[in-house]
Amino acid sequence: LDFEGDPFANQGAGREYLAGLWDRDGTFTSWWAHSFEREQTLTEQLVDNLIGRPKVDPGMHVYHYAAYEQTALKRLTGRHGTRESELDTLLRGERFVDLYAVVRGGIRISKPSYSIKKLEDFYWGHTRTAGSEAEVADAMTSVVEYERFLVDRDQAILDSIERYNREDVRSTHDLHEWLEDRRVELEALHGGQPRPEVKDGAAGDDASAAEQAEAALADRLRDAGQALLAGLVGWHRREDRPRWWEFFRVGDLDDEMLVEDGSTIGGVSAPVQAGEVKSSFLWRYDFEPQECKLSVGSGAIDVNDPHAVLGTVVELDPVAGHIVLKRGKRTPPAHPRGFGPSGPINVGVLQSAIARVGAQVLAGDSPLGRALLERHVPPQLTPSVVPSSQAAAPREQDGSGESPSELVVRVGRGLDGQVLAVQGPPGSGKTTTGAALIRALLDDGLRVGVTALSHKVINNLLTAVDRPALQKWEEQDDGRPSQVTIVGANDVVVQALSGGTSNLVGGTAWLWAREDLQQLVDVLVIDEAGQFSLANAVAVSSAARSMVLLGDPQQLTQPTQAVHPDGAGISALDHLLDGHDTIPSGCGIFLDKSYRMHPAITSFVSRTSYDGRLASVDGCEAQRVEAAGVLSGSGLRWFPVTHEGNTSASDEEAAVVAALVSDVCAGSWTDVNGIDRQLTLDDVLVVAPYNRHVARLLANLPAGARVGTVDKFQGQQAPVVIYSTASSSADDAPRGVDFLYDLHRLNVAVSRARALTVVVASPALLDADVHTPEQLRAVNALCHYMEEATR
């Protein structure tokens, strides 16, 4: 099996325009797709072709070279919301075989790489026939030629691409035959070699029935013209699939890859007892600093046995390199090769809530979830009362001269079954504005719910409101304010709201999606709505009559694992922004003033991420640093550091950062009120993209330095921010261009600063190969930063 894909087609979303399949009998089958609709047809016909084959040949496998074909099929079934369960059956049955992994793990060749073109010399002994018949001789040329076809519509171009694809799948077939010959040679020397057991890949009866019910509801919604809601019906199941794939994938990683993978923890030490909690012991494991996807409160699995949960994570520091697990006293601690993240959590309550909304819409009702999907915004939001898209200062809205924050409170108090979206860029007072609105709603006698992606974000907003509140949270937070009462039982929340003993309650989506909480609050406020999925927003919508979305999609975005049908894979706030960087006039309210950043920093952030609409409040221009060399003053600084071969940590950059911090801490700074004082370590944030580089920086900096990744510092600020990127080049960067150059992460890093932002980076990062419009924009932003910064 081999795909030909164009990453530039479909407005940068990409398209798989050709799939080729070579049968053992020499039959070649191809499927073409020149539109989004035809790509769905290609997906359905290809999967249908594959899913029926095991019934005829129980030992059937699909061979491909490298991971692209599996990745493409997962993306296609998710994007079009079709044949997902059938693909799952093939994956569970382990029908796909990546011959690249086989070759890399079992064959040593006299070539500089394991490219299939290099391997062909061993089993073909000649150049490919396609090279003499057509212009297309490699994957990139195929893309270029396909783009030429889209303009010229010349069938000869497609014929040339298909000949190239045909040679690729024929080569994969012949490689498999050659590897089987090597197997015969091995068995002649060492005896029979076992083959993996054939699996049928069938799902359990309960899972199949639930998925069939979801599919039937989605079909009815699509027939009723509700394609977006239909795509959301299967959102959670779609999100769970990559987690299950990941759950089983980690066992195939070798010891080195466990450390490098970015999701697992490898190289762990033997366990050491670190305490006890009730009927459990705490066990500490040490490891070298690395990236991982485990989190406190989740289970840690044995990578060699994904069904074995080794304990609950109670402490994790991937930078210092240790993890503490809680495990029952009767069970001795394990010493695994590595830890992996646990599988998906139970999302049944969320799936049921979306299904209820779907049923209500089919019955002709108009629940709040429908208002969200159809973007029913308050009627008070008209272009005459909302700042224009190019606003650089507060406008007089409706003649009263009210600020955007005041407008939020006024419009929010008048909500009646609508959705109010509020976009708050860095330092714009989003939390303060949200708290003011909630207090006003409470003063009006309304019941208010608060939700977000995490308990801590919910607690932060409830703290800012400073009114008596309940928060559903299993953990007891010793530092919580006295106004917030933590409760562990859902029934307590239901009774408090229905009985009128509480009118302000916070909890995650798992609370608000419950059927017994329907319509128990008047307004539901979703904080950090740029990270809150549209699917979960629909799931919680039944709890309220109206909804407020607070957040900023231009900062850190919602974490998703899967590809979803068009429009279903975004956050709730992104849905209201409808493809814009800032909330359109008449669709919501943009908080257009930053109370944090010096105007020179705000100017860069505004033009890069906010359509030029963000400006600093008067007085921010007074903020400045007095220190050695170019660190004096305010605005942007660029420190190029040349190095080679560094991936996720750089000694060269760590040394430069240490010198910069030393210089800064010997200086002083002037705040927004014109007050001068000495700078300290606490006044400098040092930001890095990778945990390994965080560890390297900490080793070079004095104790007490504030060092962390972008995720750690969202919501924080300091007079000076130093962002050290670590990687020597784009090619060296773990997780590639999409992660290191991510516009959202650059925005968060730069916008933590009040007076001075310093980027320390390899100059080679400015010369990066890009493959999508999004990558081009991201690399361009770093280039713009360099051009505007003082060097």
The encoded tokens of residue 282 equal 């705490």
At 623, the amino acid letter reads Q
Considering only 213-227, 476-490, 559-573, 632-646, which range has the smallest mean pLDDT? 476-490
Name the 3-class secondary structure at 760. strand
What is the phi/psi pair of residue 276, to 5°? -150, 150
Catalogue the E-assigned strands of 206-347. 265-266, 272-277, 280-286, 299-302, 305-317, 322-328, 338-341
Predicted pLDDT at 222: 92
Pairing of the two strands 305-317 and 322-328:
antiparallel
Of the candidates 6, 16, 37, 69, which has an alpha carbon nearest to the alpha carbon of residue 773? 6
Name the 3-class secondary structure at 243. helix
Could you give the CA distance from residue 101 to residue 484 in angstroms, rounded to a whole number? Answer: 54
- pLDDT tens readout for residues 713-754: 888 999 999 999 999 999 999 888 999 999 999 999 999 999
The answer to whether 6 and 150 have CB atoms below 8 angstroms apart is no
Name the 3-class secondary structure at 701. coil
**Rg of the chain's alpha carbons, rounded to an integer?**
28
Residues 6+ apart with CB under 8 A from 494: 514, 516, 517, 520
pLDDT tops 60 at residue 292:
yes
Helix (H) or strand (E) holding 484: strand 484-487
DSSP state of 436: H
pLDDT tops 80 at residue 409:
yes
Percentage of the chain exceeding pLDDT 70: 95
Would you say how long the chain is, in residues? 791
Of the candidates 491, 490, 495, 500, which has an alpha carbon nearest to the alpha carbon of residue 468? 500
> What is the arithmetic mean of pLDDT over 453-462?
94
Arithmetic mean of pLDDT over the chain:
90
Predicted pLDDT at 204: 63
> What is the arithmetic mean of pLDDT over 646-654?
95
Predicted pLDDT at 398: 44
CA angle 683, 689, 695 (to 5 degrees): 70
The encoded tokens of residue 218 equal 């989605």
- pLDDT tens readout for residues 349-381: 999 999 999 999 999 999 999 999 999 999 988
The answer to whether 573 and 530 have CB atoms below 8 angstroms apart is yes
> What is the arithmetic mean of pLDDT over 265-283?
93
The answer to whether 361 and 371 have CB atoms below 8 angstroms apart is no
Could you give the CA distance from residue 623 to residue 417 in angstroms, rounded to a whole number? Answer: 44
Confidence (pTM): 0.83
More confident residue, 620 or 711: 620
Cα maximum dimension of the chain: 90
Could you give the CA distance from residue 680 to residue 666 in angstroms, rounded to a whole number? Answer: 8
Name the 3-class secondary structure at 545. strand
2 forms beta bridges with: 20
Considering only 293-302, 519-528, 648-657, 692-701, which range has the smallest mean pLDDT? 293-302
Residues 6+ apart with CB under 8 A from 24: 173
- pLDDT tens readout for residues 120-147: 999 998 655 544 444 687 888 888 899 9
pLDDT tops 50 at residue 388:
no
Percentage of the chain exceeding pLDDT 90: 71
Considering only 186-195, 403-412, 668-677, which range has the smallest mean pLDDT? 186-195
The encoded tokens of residue 623 equal 């903020």
**Residue-by-residue DSSP string for 712-730:** HHTT--EEEEEEE---SST
pLDDT tops 60 at residue 386:
no
pLDDT-based confidence at 383, cuts 50/70/90? low
Domains observed in the chain: 2-202 (3.30.420), 245-340 (2.40.30), 370-594 (3.40.50.300), 599-788 (3.40.50.300)
pLDDT tops 70 at residue 249:
yes
- pLDDT tens readout for residues 592-606: 999 999 999 999 999
Could you give the CA distance from residue 104 to residue 665 in angstroms, rounded to a whole number? Answer: 51
**Residue 76: left if φ>0, alpha if ψ -120 to 50, beta else—which one?**
alpha
At 195, the amino acid letter reads R
More confident residue, 652 or 260: 652
Could you give the CA distance from residue 557 to residue 543 in angstroms, rounded to a whole number? Answer: 24
Could you give the CA distance from residue 515 to residue 73 in angstroms, rounded to a whole number? Answer: 36
The answer to whether 597 and 616 have CB atoms below 8 angstroms apart is yes
Predicted pLDDT at 394: 38
- pLDDT tens readout for residues 159-217: 999 999 999 999 999 999 999 999 999 889 999 888 888 877 776 666 678 888 998 99
